[in-house]
Amino acid sequence: MFERYEPDWNALHRQIRTGPCFICQIVARNPDYPAHIVYEDEIAIAFLDKYPRLYGWTLVAPREHREQVTGDFTVEEYLTLQRVVHRVTEAVRQEVGAERMYLLSLGSNQGNSHVHWHVVPLPPGVPYKEQQLAAFRKGILRMP
């Protein structure tokens, strides 16, 4: 359906490691960091991944810059964020007709430190051997 490509990963990682936090820039609406925002409220923001390997790949993040996925939140703050993750995940699942949803918190303290969750829809009909981590190894979808 969509063509796949590989971006210049070295340039991208250099930008991520030396530039400002991209999530904070999206929250601040910096025009140099355009994003397709699908949800936001006073504590969280959700936007389409700029480099999706599966259709509908979405990121959910707290608006505030925090780095430890559990350690930088009280239990109540964490559970409030998880309500947003649930809401966004259900919306994406229903919108794209996913067979299964994958949820991951990735990132790096060395250059992609703002806590965020990857909300990843697995399309129906993907063979078993191409699911789970194998689904993440394909090229980036060139989205219009």
In the complex, the smallest distance separating the C-beta of residue 51 from Zn ion, rounded to whole angstroms, is 18
Nearest residue (CB) to Zn ion, 81 versus 98: 81
Nearest residue (CB) to Zn ion, 21 versus 140: 21
In the complex, the smallest distance separating the C-beta of residue 37 from Zn ion, rounded to whole angstroms, is 15
Nearest residue (CB) to Zn ion, 66 versus 93: 66
The answer to whether residues 115 and 67 touch, using CB atoms and an 8 Å cutoff, is yes
In the complex, the smallest distance separating the C-beta of residue 121 from Zn ion, rounded to whole angstroms, is 25
Nearest residue (CB) to Zn ion, 94 versus 108: 108
What residue type is assigned to position 51 of the chain?
Y
Nearest residue (CB) to Zn ion, 21 versus 35: 21
CA distances from 24 to 15, 68, 102, 121 (A): 14, 16, 24, 25
Which positions lie near Zn ion, rule CB under 5 A? Answer: 21, 23-24, 65, 114
In the complex, the smallest distance separating the C-beta of residue 21 from Zn ion, rounded to whole angstroms, is 3
Count Cβ atoms within 10 A of the Cβ of residue 82 and give its class: 0-12 exposed, 13-18 middle, 19 or more buried: middle
Residue 122: name the closest of 39, 53, 61 by CA: 53
In the complex, the smallest distance separating the C-beta of residue 99 from Zn ion, rounded to whole angstroms, is 32
The answer to whether residues 73 and 31 touch, using CB atoms and an 8 Å cutoff, is no
45/39 Cα distance (integer angstroms): 6
